[in-house]
């Protein structure tokens, strides 16, 4: 690889892009994809992939993360100048309290802090309950509504979590915002980079969708645009290696390799494709965990029902504390994931894809 993939992950996580407002991170993604591709292809919602032709009459392989991260949107300003908001994606209020955010206004970016009623004045029964998100607000450090408006804040503005990419411990683990799913985006970049001087028997479309966090919306438009023969969604999974969790909660662990989703609420993967992934990992010596997720789903949930049906799988990374300002991943897992996806692409020739598609 010619790219420093750690720096790629850092830059992508530190870029902003909540659902419907992916412009900043999409621009960065395009900068990475463009020199590695024959051409860029975009759909009408903002999804983008780099096309790399390995074999012109080969199968069309889609490999995509999603650009968007969970965030918020300004709904109104109180007379006192506090921002009320609508969440974009799945949030739990307990991880939002007193966290910093960036508001994107027509006049530039503003820093704010998510506020709530101080715990010192809560009634005993209130302390036992999670704060309702509707009772949260964002403090901009202004005295009134007029001052907030003068700064450029208005309903519809995007609100993004703020958390810098940070090295932890011995350098194998890192924390950041938006690991869900800039890790997937970075994987697409890494695979394209790894294939620069390598033949592959297909046409690869590697990049990212938009608006996954609000219902897998961009997966529909990107699949319609690309019309793939086979697809791999790149995402993250819940790491089950922290105190209080059992194997019934989550199977995968940080530092033990990427993961393959064998079931989620949006898709049961094609069994031949599933086995192809696991067999390839074993053949090349890449550890690959499996995960079953009873709730939620990935873009593969929409890829696989596009057109007349597209064999799909979801490959990701165990990640701690997802859907919060600060998640943690192991970079070793990421490197192994890029290698695995690269090996899969190198093996997805016409005969193999037809065998997978003929499963049904």
Q: Any binding-site annotation on 213?
A: yes
C-beta of residue 356 within 8 angstroms of C-beta of residue 270 = yes
* C-alpha to C-alpha distances, 174 to 4, 152, 170, 171, 240, nearest whole angstrom: 15, 34, 10, 7, 17
- Listing DSSP states for 222-267 in one string gives HHHHH--SEEEEEEEEE---STT--TTT----TTS--EEEEEBTTB
Is 235 within any annotated ligand binding site? yes
Q: Give the list of residues 6+ apart from residue 188 with CB closer than 8 angstroms, or none.
A: 33, 49, 50, 63, 64, 65, 206, 207, 208, 234
- 175 in Cβ contact with 187 (< 8 Å): no
Residue carrying structure tokens 């600060």? 326
- 331 known member of a binding site: no
Selected catalytic residue, list 22, 69, 212, 343: 212
Closest C-alpha to 229, from 105, 358, 135: 358
CB 235 within 8 A of CB 279: no
On whether 180 is known to bind a ligand per the annotation, the reply is yes
Write out the DSSP string of 150-181: HTT--TT-EEEE----EEETTTTEEEES-HHH
Q: For residue 292, what are the β-bridge partners? A: 263
What distance in Å separates the CA atoms of residue 88 and residue 211, rounded to the nearest whole number? 9
351 belongs to the catalytic site: no
User: Rg of the Cα trace of the chain?
Assistant: 21
Exposed / middle / buried, residue 97 (Cβ in 10 Å: 0-12, 13-18, 19+): middle
Torsion of CA 290, 215, 22, 67, to 10 degrees: 10
Instruction: Examine residue 181 and say whether the peptide bond preceding it is cis (omega within 30 degrees of 0).
Output: yes
**Residues labelled catalytic:** 212
- Indicate the annotated binding residues: 66, 180, 213, 235, 323
- Indicate the annotated binding residues for Zn(2+): 66, 180, 213, 235, 323
């Amino acid at each position: 690889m010619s790219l420093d993939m750690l720096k790629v992950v850092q830059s992508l996580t530190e870029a902003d892009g909540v659902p419907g407002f992916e412009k900043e991170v999409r621009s960065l993604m395009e900068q990475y994809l463009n020199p590695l591709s024959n051409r860029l292809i975009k759909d009408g919602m903002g999804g983008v992939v780099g096309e790399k032709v390995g074999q012109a009459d080969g199968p069309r392989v889609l490999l995509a993360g999603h650009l968007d991260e969970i965030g918020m949107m300004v709904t109104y300003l109180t007379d006192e100048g506090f921002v009320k908001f609508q969440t974009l994606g799945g949030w739990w209020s307990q991880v939002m309290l007193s966290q910093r955010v960036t508001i994107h206004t027509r006049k530039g970016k503003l820093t704010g802090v998510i506020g709530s009623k101080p715990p010192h004045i809560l009634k005993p029964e209130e302390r036992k309950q999670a704060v309702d998100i509707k009772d949260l607000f964002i403090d901009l450090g202004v005295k009134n509504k007029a001052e907030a408006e003068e700064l450029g804040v208005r309903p519809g503005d995007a609100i993004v979590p703020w958390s810098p990419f940070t090295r932890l411990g011995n350098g194998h683990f890192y924390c950041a915002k938006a690991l869900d799913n800039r890790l997937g985006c970075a994987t697409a970049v890494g695979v394209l980079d790894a294939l620069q001087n390598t033949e592959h028997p297909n046409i690869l479309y590697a990049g990212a969708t938009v608006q996954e966090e609000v219902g897998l919306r961009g997966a529909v438009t990107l699949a319609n645009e690309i019309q793939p023969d086979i697809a791999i969604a790149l995402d993250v999974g819940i790491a089950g290696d922290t105190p209080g969790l059992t194997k019934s909660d989550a199977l995968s662990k940080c530092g033990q390799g990427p993961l393959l989703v064998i079931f989620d609420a949006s898709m049961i993967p094609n069994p031949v494709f599933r086995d192809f992934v696991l067999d390839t990992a074993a053949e090349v010596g890449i550890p690959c965990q499996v995960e079953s997720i009873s709730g939620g789903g990935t873009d593969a949930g929409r890829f696989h029902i596009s057109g007349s049906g597209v064999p799909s799988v979801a490959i990701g990374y165990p990640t701690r504390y997802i859907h919060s300002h600060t998640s943690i991943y192991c970079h070793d897992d990421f490197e192994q994931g890029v290698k695995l996806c690269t090996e899969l692409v190198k093996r997805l020739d016409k005969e193999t894809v037809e065998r997978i598609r003929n499963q049904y």
